[in-house]
A and B are shown apart, each in its own frame.
Chain A
Amino acid sequence: MHPRSARFGRVAVPLAVEIAAARAVGSLSRLLGRGGGTTVPGKLLSIVDPGAIDRLAARLTAGTVAVSATNGKTTTTAMAAEILRPRFRLAHNRSGANLLSGVASTLLAAGGAELGLLEVDEGALPEVIRRVRPRAVCLGNLFRDQLDRYGELELVAERWREAVTALPSETSIVLNGDDPQVGSLRGTLFFGIDDPRAARPSLQHAADSKYCIVCGAPYEYAAAYVGHLGDYRCPNGHHARPPLDVVARDVHLHGLERVEFELTLPGDTRRVDLPLPGLYNVYNALGAAALAHALGATADEIAAGLGRVAAAFGRFERIAIGDKTLLLLLVKNPAGANEAVRTLVDGGTPRLAVVALNDAIADGRDVSWIWDVDFEPLLTGLDRLVASGDRAAELALRFTYAGMPEDAVEVVPDLERALDRGLELTDAGGELVVLPTYTAMLGLQRIVTARGLRKPYWS
């Protein structure tokens, strides 16, 4: 017999005892200053008794909802929280701990909550769905991301298809109709953008699902908005974008500050003023709006909630450092990085940037994706780059092979030194743009928190 189950026994320990034990570990972990302790109790619980997660989810009176995507799931979930907060007391994993252990931790700490609002990692989605049996699922997109962790994009799509097919018929399934893979799933509510003026002139290099899921012919795009997201149609008539239920029209991008659009919900239309920039955030807002609509939120609640959102952890987050500002834009895969670059260029290309590339598991150990990012538009204004992180040299190569002079690129692998170098090069009153990968972002957060400039996100 496995020693662990010999000691605990899967049935013998009551849920309450497990919860108390796991919570104590979480508090201890916080006291010891090891990160936020956000997943430690959940890890313990998911090892001791994974079935407890099912029972914890069942305690939530309004049920749970799951949000997943390769890109934008943290922001979409944060937007949904803003809309739904007046209606429900939420258990929300807002720190982005989105594996089964993070979900377990959030549910453990959910005393008094009514609705579980869960951001879920795309690889963890099938198991989380099986355990928490959500009343609604919102699926945003599938872009190539962390292929070293998940193998191929098609495999993730196939696992999603199986998970969604197994959901009971009463589950609301909210899907991005503009993504050919996601839009081909069985859904109850489809969202997307309808504004050819906001479309990009051509599919990006990093576009992924470009070929008809039935016959393999290249899709014809009436409009491509972000990566392969858009209004697609198989030339042989096999598959096309489904009719949209929740739609953004008349989109106006306002640089680095905000975006406005007309939001059409079933039976209602509202003007939305979103305090976050970029077309990709319109998709995040649509996902949150459609999900909230499926949960009964009114058009007024949705428009008002979207008007209140603030940047999620490291996603277009501004931090004041003395008389200068740090602008953090997480980059983690080609589609997301392309949107960060476009948004920066639309807002006026910066002359200086710090880009930090790490290659831990959470970043993707394979750094080849940086060559699929269209960094080139930045070179029109950028005259100095500080390349940082564990793979700083690789990043510097990316920019020099793009045509940046080698003496304009400084290689400073240490994050803190790179940050200080960037600040030193920034004029008083100016803004320093920093594009970090995931663990580099966590590193920067620790540095600014240690300097007393930012509250820890778990407090």
Chain B
Amino acid sequence: MNIRVAHLYPDYLNIYADRGNIAVLARRSALRGHDLDVTAIGIGDAVAPGAHDLYYLGGGQDREQLLVAEDLAAKAEPLKEAHAGGAAFLAVCGGYQLLGRGYRGFHGEDMPGVGLLPLETVAGDRRMIGDVLLATELGPIAGFENHAGRTYLDPGAQPLGRVVSGFGNDGESGFEGCRYDRAIGTYLHGPLLPRNPRLADWLLAQALAHRCAGEPPELAPLPDRLEAVAQSVSAARARARGGRR
């Protein structure tokens, strides 16, 4: 089986080693006998709902984000249609902000969003930078955050997890990220997936479910020996020096 991934704006949104996340998805698919076919979708390229099982958006610096924001917002309808049709999404950092309704800058320079995730983001005066540890339904998730935006979830929206150590969405709520059906948005990079293999497998299972129009399959477990060590080291870093709310 081939899992079809749409990687949005890989030339622009790639600041925190987003290709590490793609490398993890590719290898973990291959170890289960599936190919990961990654298609780059750039400025002016069309999104065809149903053509991809997993959409990936990485993080960019403000300038790069600004360069793609308008084009991405113009793709809002097909992206929402793809999501409603059961495709999985992973959006990290800048991509996470842009999947919401938009980003309100300091000087009124607003960036439009896709409006797929029930949230919006407002510029803050102090960057929130540091190691993060979350408690989630998929177990602990560890990573690194570096964002000036404060992201506010709509009432009733589901976060990815509870912040054990670090700042999280807005530095105050105690929550991080957002999960909406098969879409996940988060500030955690590091990159996110190498040290959080359960999340990687969850995404692959959702993508396979879309591919086969069925239920998410059980994926054969992998040893994940190094992954476990990397996660525990990262988690210990967050406990020792993660951002304090």
Contacts and interface: CB of A to CB of B under 8 A. Distances in A.
Contact of B24 (A152, A218, A365, A401): A401
Contacts of A216: 63, 66-67
Contacts of A218: 11
A218 B195 CA distance: 33
Interface stretch (A68-76, A241-249, A386-394): A386-394
A396 B62 CA distance: 31
Nearest to B68: A216
Contacts of A151: 127, 129, 146, 148
Contacts of B195: 394, 397
Contacts of A359: 237
Contact of B27 (A369, A371, A396, A401): A401
Given A152-B62, A211-B64, A216-B67, A366 B226 contact: no
A365 B241 contact: yes
Contacts of A153: 61
B229 A401 contact: no
B190 A148 contact: no
Contacts of A148: 129-130, 144, 146
B19 interface: yes
Interface in A376-415: 390-391, 393-394, 396-398, 400-402, 406, 411
Nearest to B189: A368
Interface string B129-171: 1110000000000001010100000000000000000000000
Contacts of A390: 233
Contacts of B64: 211
A402 B189 CA distance: 19
Contact of A366 (B14, B16, B227, B229): B16
B92 to A, nearest CB: 10
Contacts of B241: 365
9 contacts: A211-B63, A359-B237, A365-B144, A366-B16, A371-B191, A391-B230, A391-B233, A394-B195, A398-B194
Closest 8 CB pairs of A and B: A371-B20, A371-B17, A393-B229, A368-B17, A393-B230, A152-B61, A366-B144, A368-B16
Given A211-B63, A401-B24, 17 more contacts: A148-B130, A152-B61, A366-B190, A368-B144, A371-B23, A371-B191, A372-B14, A372-B19, A393-B229, A394-B194, A394-B233, A396-B226, A397-B226, A397-B230, A401-B27, A401-B194, A411-B226
